[in-house]
């Protein structure tokens, strides 16, 4: 499931709720108990926060690798950023008030395409084009990261982790890409 609403998480009052954001997902919440977490290798996690509504969310994406001499395919990243923004707005966030954190984009294996750098460049460019201020980031390098984000508070933290904790990059799902339905 791409987008998972998390209002209905069954838990005791005030007990922290830790939810993992997998590659290809976007999760949004205004619940102060919720902490979103993910482990990143070459992938990017964008955390968005609206301080006027105390709503936040995180996505986790990986762009498709270049093929046939073309650049990276930015469609999937743009799509998952739009999914996150739309869900933020559905939760009452204001587009103009959004603030962003970015994490990930490591190039963990020498000799491979520097897909981590391409992911990071895309994410930074996206925020600039959409005029969403980037307030904090940790991008690039060669180490995997764990990123934790409290969406209702806009508080993020990260730490470097052993690459064995980072998920293997999975192919971008393309089964339903661009499906057309004429009425």
Partner 1 sequence: MMTSPNAATRILTVDDSATMRSLLRHALQSQGFEVAQAEDGVAALDWLASNDCDVIITDINMPRMDGFGLIERVRAGGPHVHRPILVLSTEFSDEKKARARSAGATGWIVKPFDAEKLAAAVRRVTH
**Span interacting with partner 1, options 14-22, 32-40, 105-113, 171-179, rule CB under 8 A:** 171-179
180 contacts partner 1 (rule: CB under 8 A): yes
What is the distance between the alpha carbons of residues 24 and 61, in angstroms, rounded to a whole number? 5
> Helix 115-129 vs helix 75-90: angle between axes, to the nearest 10 degrees?
50
> What's the half-sphere exposure (Cβ side, CA atoms, 13 Å) at 6?
30
177 contacts partner 1 (rule: CB under 8 A): yes
By DSSP bridging, strand 134-139 and strand 99-104 are parallel
Residue 179 CB partners (closer than 8 Å, separation 6+)? none
Candidate residues 33, 75, 114, 136; the one interacting with partner 1 per rule CB under 8 A = 75
- Among residue numbers 79 through 98, which ones bind partner 1 (CB under 8 A)? 79, 81-83, 86, 89, 95
Closest CA to 149 of 2, 27, 8: 27
Candidate residues 15, 68, 129, 164; the one interacting with partner 1 per rule CB under 8 A = 129
Min. distance of Cβ 125 from partner 1 in angstroms? 8
Chain residues that interact with partner 1, rule: CB under 8 A: 74-76, 78-79, 81-83, 86, 89, 95, 125-126, 129-130, 176-183
């Amino acid at each position: 499931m791409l987008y998972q609403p998390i209002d209905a998480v069954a838990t005791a009052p005030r007990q922290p709720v830790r939810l993992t954001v997998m590659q290809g997902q976007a999760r949004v919440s205004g619940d102060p108990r919720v902490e979103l977490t993910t482990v990143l290798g070459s992938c990017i996690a964008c955390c968005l926060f609206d301080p006027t509504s105390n709503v936040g969310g995180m996505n986790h994406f990986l762009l498709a690798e270049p093929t046939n001499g073309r650049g990276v395919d930015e469609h999937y990243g743009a799509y998952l950023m739009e999914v996150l923004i739309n869900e933020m707005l559905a939760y009452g966030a204001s587009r103009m008030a959004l603030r962003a954190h970015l994490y990930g984009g490591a190039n963990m294996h020498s000799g491979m395409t520097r897909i981590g750098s391409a992911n990071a460049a895309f994410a930074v460019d996206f925020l600039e084009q959409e005029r969403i201020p980037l307030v904090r980031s940790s991008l690039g390098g060669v180490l995997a990261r764990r990123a934790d984000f409290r969406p209702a508070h806009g508080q993020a933290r990260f730490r470097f982790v052993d690459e064995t904790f980072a998920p293997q990059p999975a192919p971008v799902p393309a089964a339903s890409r661009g499906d057309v339905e004429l009425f």
